C-alpha cells in the first residue's frame, strides 16, 4: 500500500486507474477497506483514490482536528497531482469533503456526500465515548445499532462493520469523534455551488435523513437521494446501489 509521508504521520492510500480522479473518504471508525465493494464498480476510465484518514486504518494517529483532516486530503491530492476530482465522503469523510471543497476548489469539481451533514449534533453518550475511548469493544454494538436497520444487524454487512470497528485505534476514533463534534460547516457549505449528490439512508440513526436533507438544501442545485432500507454505511449494506448512484452522477456531470 503506498504511503504519503507528512511531517507528523504517514497517510496510507490506494490508487487505481488513470483518468479523471475520484477520491473516496471513509466514515469515523473505519478505513479505506469499507470501499472494497464500491470501488470496483466505479467507472474504469477514472482514477480511484481511497485513503485511511489519520488515526484510522494504517495511517498514523495524533491530533485530528477537522482542519488537520482537511489538510491531509489536500496534501495527498497535491502530492499525487490530482485536480478537478469528484470527492466522495461518507460520514466523517463527508465533512472532510465539505471543508476541502471550500478551501481548495481547484482540487474538487464535484461532491458526493453520503450520510453526513454540515454539523452533526453530539449526544451525551457520544461525548463520553470520545473522551474515554481506551478500547473499541464497548463501542462496537452501540455503533452497529445506530448504523443498521434492526433486520440488518445480524447480516454479513454488519459483521464486516463489527470487524472494522474492532480493529480501529480507539485513540484515533476518539480524536475523529472530537473533530466531528467541533465542526460547524453551515455557513461555509452554504457558499458551495459545485455539482453535488447527497445520499441518506432511511435507517440511519447517526445522520438521520432529515439532517442530511438539510445539508443538501444548503448547496445550490444539490441532488438528494434517499436510499430506502440502508443505514449509516451504504458502502457495506447497499454497495451496488451506492456505486450505481455515484456512477450516474459522474456520467451526468461528464466526469
pLDDT of residue 81: 95
Confidence of residue 2 (pLDDT cuts 50, 70, 90): confident
Q: Match 481511497 to its residue by C-alpha cell.
A: 50
Q: What is the 3-state secondary structure (H, E, C) of 12-65?
A: EEEEECCCCEEEEECCCCCCHHHHCCCHHHCCCCCEEEEECCCCCCCCCCCCCC
pLDDT tens for residues 179-225?
A: 998 899 999 999 999 999 999 999 999 999 999 999 999 999 999 99
Would the pLDDT of 242 be above 80? yes
pLDDT tens for residues 47-88?
A: 999 999 999 999 987 667 899 999 999 999 999 999 999 999
pLDDT tens for residues 17-41?
A: 999 999 999 999 999 999 999 999 9
- CATH classification for the domain delimited by 3-252, as one of 3.40.250.10, 3.40.50.1950, 3.40.50.720, 3.40.50.1820: 3.40.50.1820
More reliable by pLDDT, 119 or 181: 119
Element holding 243 (H helix, E strand): helix 239-252
Dist CA 205 CA 231 (whole Å): 7
**Span 120-135, mean pLDDT?**
67
Confidence of residue 125 (pLDDT cuts 50, 70, 90): low
Would the pLDDT of 238 be above 90? yes
pTM of the model: 0.95
C-alpha cell of residue 18: 488513470
For 226, which DSSP code? E
Q: Which of 115, 133, 149, 110 is nearest to 233 (CA)?
A: 115
**Could you tell me whether strands 47-51 and 10-16 are parallel, antiparallel, or unpaired per DSSP bridges?**
antiparallel
Domain residue extents for the chain: 3-252
pLDDT of residue 230: 98
Runs of H (alpha helix) within 86-169: 92-103, 124-132, 137-147, 156-167
Amino acid at each position: 500500500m503506498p504511503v504519503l509521508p507528512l511531517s507528523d504521520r504517514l497517510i496510507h492510500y490506494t490508487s487505481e486507474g488513470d483518468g479523471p480522479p475520484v477520491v473516496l473518504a471513509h466514515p469515523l471508525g473505519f478505513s479505506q477497506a469499507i470501499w472494497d465493494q464500491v470501488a470496483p464498480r466505479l467507472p474504469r476510465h477514472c482514477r480511484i483514490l481511497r485513503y485511511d484518514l489519520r488515526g484510522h486504518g494504517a495511517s498514523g494517529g495524533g491530533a485530528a482536528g477537522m482542519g488537520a483532516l482537511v489538510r491531509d486530503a489536500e496534501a495527498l491530492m497535491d502530492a499525487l497531482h490530482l485536480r478537478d476530482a469528484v470527492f466522495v465522503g461518507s460520514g466523517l469523510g463527508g465533512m472532510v469533503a465539505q471543508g476541502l471543497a471550500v478551501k481548495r476548489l481547484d482540487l474538487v469539481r464535484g461532491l458526493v456526500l453520503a450520510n453526513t451533514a454540515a454539523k452533526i449534533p453530539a449526544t451525551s453518550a457520544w461525548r463520553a465515548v470520545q473522551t474515554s475511548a481506551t478500547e473499541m469493544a464497548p463501542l462496537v454494538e452501540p455503533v452497529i445499532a445506530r448504523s443498521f436497520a434492526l433486520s440488518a444487524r445480524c447480516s454479513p454487512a454488519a459483521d464486516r462493520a463489527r470487524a472494522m470497528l474492532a480493529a480501529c485505534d480507539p485513540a484515533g476514533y476518539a480524536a475523529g469523534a472530537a473533530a466531528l463534534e467541533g465542526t460547524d460547516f453551515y455557513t461555509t457549505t452554504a457558499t458551495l455551488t459545485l455539482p453535488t449528490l447527497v445520499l441518506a439512508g432511511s435507517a440511519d440513526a447517526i445522520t438521520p435523513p432529515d439532517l442530511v436533507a438539510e445539508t443538501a438544501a444548503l448547496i445550490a442545485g444539490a441532488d438528494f437521494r434517499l436510499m430506502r432500507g440502508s443505514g449509516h454505511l451504504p458502502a457495506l449494506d447497499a454497495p451496488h446501489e451506492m456505486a450505481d448512484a455515484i456512477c450516474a452522477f459522474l456520467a451526468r456531470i461528464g466526469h
